[in-house]
Amino acid sequence: MISRVQGLSSEHKGILYAVIAHLFWGAMAFYIGLLRYVNPLEIAANRSIWSIPIGLFVVWRFGLLNAFWKVITNPKLMGIFCITSFLVMFNWTLYIWCITSGRTLDASLGYFINPLLNVAAGYIFLGERFTKPQMIAIAMAAVAVIVVTIGTGVFPVIGLSLAGTFCAYGLVRKKLPVGALEGFTVEVILTSIPLFFVELYLAQHGEAHFGTTWISTIMLIGCGGFTAGALLFYSVSLKLIRYATVGILQYLSPSIVFLTAIFVFGEHLDKWKLIGFSIIWVACAIYSVSAILDERNKGAAIPAAAKAAA
């Protein structure tokens, strides 16, 4: 198996690693579903705490200890990382709550919307410009939100909160001159501080499940393995594949979450949510095709420019 992977081209390896990362993220919904008897804050706490040793090992293994040390000794960077860590903690806890409370479809909707929200945020905050297909995709996403709101009588605040916090996180992280691996390790260390006290509080009141049974303890530790494993594969894949490919593959994990919600958890998909999801899926398809064509055009323009210069 290892020899087969080594024989792949860099791009094919990148696709494989990205798929593995999204399988981790998608499977996490099912994994957390097995822990529905555990307080969501305790799951988030263990997800953060047990990511730390894995993150530190990876930072050491990739020779990033100096870069990691420069970050944690820089007060300005640590101040910004406190903001990103809060966004991560909020996003993780809300996502876990969605799964443990039977709202997995809302979580899936949020992560389908997120890439389109990123495009809108880039236009508003980073001075980026829309392409026509992107404008159509964003407009369709807005229509989907309106349809779900009018049809169900409930504004999809949970899905948009997940998408919004993850989008805000991406905007802030985009400005930081820090790599993904060392940045992730700093964030899980910072998020683990308040969450550790949450775990301690739950333990003192007899509500914690860590250490009560071996199966609960192992599964809670495993939350850290899922989180760190996904990030590791994803970070490596980003260096090997085109951005357009990244954009397409990012819909794999919310698709798995959606299917898990319907066929494993048995959540009800009413007609209005189905219509809303259908509109979002078309919008995502338009966005993905646009990204592929845009990257192909850029790739064709580079040789043409080089030839003209010669």
Coil vs helix vs strand at 131 = coil
Query: pLDDT per residue over 212-221, tens digit each?
Result: 999 999 999 9
Per-residue pLDDT, 70? 94
Q: Does residue 138 lie within any of the structural domains?
A: yes
Residue 15 has pLDDT above 70, yes or no: yes
Per-residue pLDDT, 305? 44
Q: Does residue 309 lie within any of the structural domains?
A: no
The answer to whether the CB of 12 falls within 8 A of the CB of 237 is: no
Q: Does residue 48 lie within any of the structural domains?
A: yes
pLDDT band at 295 (very low <50, low <70, confident <90, very high): low
Q: How many CB atoms lie within 10 A of CB 15?
A: 20
Q: Does residue 39 lie within any of the structural domains?
A: yes
Q: pTM above 0.75? A: yes
Query: pLDDT per residue over 54-86, tens digit each?
Result: 999 989 998 999 999 999 999 999 999 999 999
Percent share of the chain, pLDDT over 90: 51
Per-residue pLDDT, 310? 43
For 51, the domain range is 12-300
Spatial distance between the Cα atoms of 160 and 146, rounded to a whole number of angstroms:
12
Q: Does residue 226 lie within any of the structural domains?
A: yes
Per-residue pLDDT, 2? 45
Per-residue pLDDT, 6? 60
Average pLDDT over every residue of 79-96: 94
Q: Does residue 232 lie within any of the structural domains?
A: yes
Query: pLDDT per residue over 212-257, tens digit each?
Result: 999 999 999 999 998 888 888 887 786 777 655 666 777 888 999 9
Per-residue pLDDT, 261? 94
Q: Does residue 213 lie within any of the structural domains?
A: yes
Nearest Cα neighbor of 120 from 110, 131, 104 is 131
Per-residue pLDDT, 90? 94
Q: Does residue 306 lie within any of the structural domains?
A: no
Domain count of the chain? 1
Nearest Cα neighbor of 49 from 194, 180, 204 is 194
* Exposure string for 53-76, b = 16+ CB within 10 A, e = fewer: ebbbebbeeeebeebbeebeeeee
Going by the DSSP 8-state scheme, the letter that residue 210 receives in this structure is T
